[in-house]
Amino acid sequence: MSSMIAEERRRGRGAVSNASGRFEAEMREIVDDGWDSAADLPPLPVEITREAAKSIIARNASPDLPFDRSINPYRGCEHGCIYCFARPSHAYLGLSPGLDFETKLTVKPGAAALLRKALDKPGYTPAPIALGANTDPYQPIERDYGTTREIVEVLLDYRHPFAITTKSAFVTRDLDLLRDAASLGILRVAMSVTTLDHRLSRAMEPRCSAPHARFRAMERLAEAGVPVMAMTAPMIPALNDHEMEKLLETARDAGATSAGYVALRLPREIATLFREWLEEHYPDRARRILGHIRTMHGGKDYDAEWGKRMTGTGPYAQLLAMRFKKAVARLGLQQGRMGQRRDLFRPPPRMGDQFDLFEAG
């Protein structure tokens, strides 16, 4: 077999394997030479590549997404969430959606300049930009590179509407900027919360902020006047879905004013990665969990059809949707996304710009 990686080498990671990407002509295997050499390999290090990106705003036309543009400061994510729907995108880089996704990361150091260039284009029409649509903008390498903060500074300079989705309490580092953006009505922050169980969180999303730290971050954001949304995502049948109401209640108490949810999605390689993870961490429940997931997707691991992929179909999916609707109503939470102002957008003045002399008088 050998895309499976020894436990000691992947300690603190989410995936348990590192199969080659689907576009690769050659498959990698770990082979022991009989001298236990495979067991002597060092822990997987984080490797960071700099990308000379030519553009920074990604566009989409997905009818079930509340935004048509996004920015991803990084490729790959050290948080290591086993359920992350972005994992398959690593295959386009010639890398594995497994452990490569968590350890081989890409940073875009020229992102802020590219963003200014895009926003300065004649005829540019503002609409909310999503940060964290693919990978977390406040994952650990943000501490060293600060690419997300530079992007937020540009968006604030231009008074451009934006939204942040994160699982990291590190978002509060930028409270100074987020407070100013919120006061203009151009920002909302969605904090993704999956469980109150620290053991489950550590196994399922090993390098994310602990559950209590995320709720404390929500409190700090709310105290600063930043609109906070609680995203209970993903909800996984027979694993964490029983916590939905308690998660929403805890988020409300922490200052969240709106909420959303997403059912587990298993596109492409994630289905195999998630099965492997279940067999290692929850073998007693694996069959039941996977069975429920298939009932929500027409007997398949995943149904990519618009309008169904986020919530699923069938009785179990309907029950989940009904529970969410009742919970947000009882808790006084708004359902869905919060709006941001678009009418304040304007390129900031530059050194040397010519001003109207009549206005100056």
Residue bearing tokens 């451009």: 160
**Alpha carbon distance 136, 148 (integer Å):** 10
**Alpha carbon distance 105, 75 (integer Å):** 6
Nearest to 247 by CA among 283, 282, 218, 206: 218
The pLDDT mean for the chain works out to 90
**Residue 2 pLDDT greater than 60, yes or no:** no
**Residue 39 pLDDT greater than 70, yes or no:** no
Neighbours of 79 (CB within 10 A): 21
**Alpha carbon distance 14, 204 (integer Å):** 6
| E-only strand ranges, the chain | 47-50, 58-59, 69-71, 74-75, 104-107, 129-131, 162-166, 187-193, 228-235, 258-263, 334-335
**Alpha carbon distance 278, 202 (integer Å):** 14
Tokens encoding 62: 């997905």
Residue bearing tokens 């822990």: 43
Q: Which helix (H) or strand (E) element contains residue 313? A: none
Residue 306 has φ and ψ, to the nearest 5°, of -55, 140
For the 37-347 domain, the top CATH level (class) is: alpha beta
Can you give the pTM of this predicted structure?
A: 0.90
**Alpha carbon distance 227, 304 (integer Å):** 31
**Alpha carbon distance 228, 222 (integer Å):** 6
**Residue 305 pLDDT greater than 60, yes or no:** yes
43-100 pLDDT tens trace: 788 999 999 889 999 998 887 788 889 999 999 999 999 999 999 999 989 999 999 9
**Alpha carbon distance 125, 163 (integer Å):** 17
**Alpha carbon distance 236, 149 (integer Å):** 32
Does residue 17 contact residue 276 with C-beta atoms inside 8 Å? Answer: yes
Does residue 266 contact residue 302 with C-beta atoms inside 8 Å? Answer: yes
Residue bearing tokens 């994952």: 139
In DSSP terms, 224 is beta-bridged to none
Amino acid (one-letter) located at 216: R
What pLDDT is recorded for position 327? 98
DSSP class of residue 121? S
153-209 pLDDT tens trace: 999 999 999 999 999 999 999 999 999 999 999 999 999 999 999 999 999 999 999
- More confident site: 48 or 305: 48
**Residue 359 pLDDT greater than 60, yes or no:** no
Most distant CA atoms of the chain, gap in Å: 85
Tokens encoding 40: 């002597």
Based on its alpha-carbon atoms, the radius of gyration of the chain, rounded to whole angstroms, reads 22
SS3 305: coil
**Alpha carbon distance 204, 85 (integer Å):** 14
Residue bearing tokens 């929850």: 282
| E-only strand ranges, 171-244 | 187-193, 228-235
**Alpha carbon distance 222, 255 (integer Å):** 5
Say if strands 187-193 and 228-235 run parallel, antiparallel, or are unpaired.
parallel
In this structure, of 5-14, 25-34, 154-163, 335-344, the range with the lowest mean pLDDT score is 25-34
**Alpha carbon distance 316, 324 (integer Å):** 12
Query: Where do runs of H (alpha helix) occur along 68-110?
Result: 99-103
Band of residue 26 on the pLDDT scale cut at 50, 70, 90: low
